[in-house]
């Protein structure tokens, strides 16, 4: 590596670290300001200093994990800001002029920045695939739940499994941040099966239709998720059959285990589609292979986004470089304005494409539609970045 490349690369790495701390720090501060009332909690029997120390500790615990999530959202703009400051500084202090006088093409100056940005994109992959999936219990907390994780519960109403059974739980506790397994209280499961039912059609001919009828009833006082067996261990579980009027009701039998496709991840998807953004790509593919998986559209959207986001991050950088790579220092203000507008349009297009991906038309398959929306910004801004790079005067 040449001395010039090392010099540009070192300046870019320093600006990248500064941009990371500034942008993530601003994200944290803004989030803290808008949610300050939920983050602060004063204990009645503690002093002001103890309450302040406890609040700061809870904030640190909450935002330490959230920073990994904030990085995935800012991974495209951080290298753009770092590259802009690096190249504008070279032009501002006439270092770029000296490089051009030495016979170095102007685009050659930005080569170390592009290569470093490609390698730093690996941090995004490590964050999404290895770090965030192991922090899900910490990341799904709301701002007002960092003080009261034990009360973080909600009800599950008529959730259907792969065997057409319906699950209801009065209280469901997600997996705890301290490693506690998922738990349900007052569990009620109706097992159903398909039966053929004959009826008279409009023309008088008999019509056979398949209907779902109750088959068995499972009740339990509580259920705890067992990750080893991938099933729910029931407390005081009981099961009866013969629920239809023409059938004889069986005596209650002990039922210690409830095994079905209803897992803590499926319940999280059933409640919120944003949960899928915390899963690894491998786990997303596993969920897509299941029949009747909840949140299929969100799973497909995030799956395709995982492939296109690193590419779009590089395209954003290639769009910014021609804007700020100016030989004349007097044009830096207009170049920075042009770069800001172009970045806003590109990132706004990505946001709109992701919103449209959630509403596929009936004429296109969801998998094809989500893939199209994920790749559409690349098809638009990829050629535009090449066009702008070719127009740079060297």
Q: Are residues 207 and 164 in the same domain?
A: yes
Last residue of a domain, one of 125, 149, 173: 149
Q: Are residues 8 and 138 in the same domain?
A: yes
Q: Are residues 201 and 176 in the same domain?
A: yes
- The least confident of 34-38, 107-111, 125-129, 269-273 is 269-273
In a domain, 238, yes or no: yes
Q: Strand 257-258 to strand 231-235: parallel, antiparallel, or no bridges (unpaired)? A: antiparallel
Which residue in this structure is represented by tokens 């909690």?
A: 41
Report the C-alpha gap between 299 and 307 in whole angstroms: 13
Instruction: Pick the more confident residue, 261 or 189.
Output: 189
Q: Are residues 170 and 135 in the same domain?
A: no
In a domain, 135, yes or no: yes
Report the C-alpha gap between 374 and 127 in whole angstroms: 20
Q: What is the mean pLDDT of residues 88-94?
A: 86
In a domain, 285, yes or no: no
What confidence score (pLDDT) does residue 58 get? 80
What confidence score (pLDDT) does residue 1 get? 57
Q: What is the mean pLDDT of residues 11-18?
A: 94
Instruction: Pick the more confident residue, 19 or 178.
Output: 19
Alpha-carbon torsion (201, 206, 211, 214), positive or negative: positive
Q: Are residues 389 and 268 in the same domain?
A: no
What confidence score (pLDDT) does residue 384 get? 93
What confidence score (pLDDT) does residue 150 get? 42
What confidence score (pLDDT) does residue 62 get? 86
Q: What angle do CA 260, 134, 256 make, to 5 degrees?
A: 25
Q: What is the mean pLDDT of residues 306-318?
A: 93
In a domain, 280, yes or no: no
How many domains is the chain built from? 3
Residue 310 clears pLDDT 80, i.e. is over it: yes
In a domain, 288, yes or no: no
Helix (H) or strand (E) holding 257, with range, is strand 257-258
In a domain, 325, yes or no: yes
Helix (H) or strand (E) holding 196, with range, is strand 183-200
What confidence score (pLDDT) does residue 264 get? 86
- The least confident of 87-96, 115-124, 137-146, 194-203 is 194-203
Q: What is the mean pLDDT of residues 35-40?
A: 77
Q: What is the mean pLDDT of residues 316-336?
A: 85
- The least confident of 128-132, 166-170, 273-277 is 273-277
Q: What is the mean pLDDT of residues 214-231?
A: 89
Domain extent, residue 387, equals: 295-394
Last residue of a domain, one of 149, 179, 208: 149
Q: Are residues 259 and 136 in the same domain?
A: no
Instruction: Pick the more confident residue, 284 or 348.
Output: 348
Residue 87 clears pLDDT 80, i.e. is over it: yes
Q: Are residues 143 and 22 in the same domain?
A: yes
pLDDT band at 387 (very low <50, low <70, confident <90, very high): very high
Q: Are residues 161 and 236 in the same domain?
A: yes
In a domain, 174, yes or no: yes
Report the C-alpha gap between 22 and 30 in whole angstroms: 12
Q: Are residues 3 and 145 in the same domain?
A: yes
Question: 0.85 exceeded by the pTM?
Answer: no
pLDDT one-digit tens code per residue, 223-240: 999 988 889 999 999 999
Instruction: Pick the more confident residue, 35 or 384.
Output: 384
Q: Are residues 214 and 323 in the same domain?
A: no
Residue 137 clears pLDDT 90, i.e. is over it: no
In a domain, 328, yes or no: yes
What confidence score (pLDDT) does residue 45 get? 65
pLDDT one-digit tens code per residue, 148-193: 544 467 788 878 787 788 888 988 888 876 678 889 999 999 888 7
Q: Are residues 225 and 329 in the same domain?
A: no
Report the C-alpha gap between 244 and 157 in whole angstroms: 22
Q: Are residues 143 and 161 in the same domain?
A: no
Q: Taking all residues of the chain, what is their mean pLDDT, rounded to a whole number?
A: 84
């Amino acid at each position: 590596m040449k001395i010039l490349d090392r010099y540009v690369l070192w300046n870019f790495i320093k600006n990248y670290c500064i941009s990371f701390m500034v942008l993530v720090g601003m994200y944290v501060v803004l989030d803290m300001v808008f949610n300050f009332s939920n983050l602060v909690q004063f204990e009645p029997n503690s002093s002001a200093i103890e309450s302040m120390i406890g609040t700061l500790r809870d904030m640190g615990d909450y935002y330490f994990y959230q920073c990994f999530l904030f990085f995935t959202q800012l991974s495209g703009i951080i290298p753009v800001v770092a590259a802009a400051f690096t190249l504008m500084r070279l032009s501002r202090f006439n270092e770029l002029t000296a490089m051009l006088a030495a016979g170095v093409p102007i685009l050659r100056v930005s080569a170390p920045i592009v290569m470093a940005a490609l390698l730093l994109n690996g941090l995004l992959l490590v964050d999404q695939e290895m770090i965030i999936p192991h922090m899900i219990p910490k990341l799904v907390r709301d701002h007002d739940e960092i003080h009261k994780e034990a009360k973080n519960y909600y009800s599950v109403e008529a959730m259907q499994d792969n065997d057409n059974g319906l699950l209801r739980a009065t209280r469901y506790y997600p997996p705890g941040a301290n490693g506690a397994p998922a738990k349900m209280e007052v569990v009620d499961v109706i097992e159903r099966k398909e039966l053929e039912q004959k009826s008279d059609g409009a023309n008088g001919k008999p019509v056979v239709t398949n209907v779902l009828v109750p088959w068995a009833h499972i009740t339990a006082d509580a259920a705890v998720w067992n990750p080893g067996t991938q099933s729910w261990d029931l407390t005081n579980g009981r099961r009866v059959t013969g629920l239809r009027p023409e059938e004889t009701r069986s005596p209650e039998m002990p039922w210690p285990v409830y095994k079905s496709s209803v897992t803590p991840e499926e319940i999280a998807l059933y409640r919120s589609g944003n949960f899928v953004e915390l899963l690894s790509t491998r786990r997303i593919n596993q969920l897509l292979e299941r029949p009747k998986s909840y949140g299929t559209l969100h799973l497909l959207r995030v799956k395709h986004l995982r492939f296109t986001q690193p590419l779009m991050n590089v395209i954003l950088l290639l769009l910014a470089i021609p804007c700020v790579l100016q030989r004349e220092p007097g044009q830096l203000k207009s170049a920075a304005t042009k770069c800001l507008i172009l970045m806003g349009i590109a990132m706004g297009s990505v946001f709109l494409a992701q919103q449209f991906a959630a509403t596929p038309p009936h004429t296109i398959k969801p998998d094809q539609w989500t893939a199209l929306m994920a790749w559409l910004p690349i098809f638009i801004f990829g050629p535009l970045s090449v066009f702008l790079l070719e127009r740079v005067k060297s």
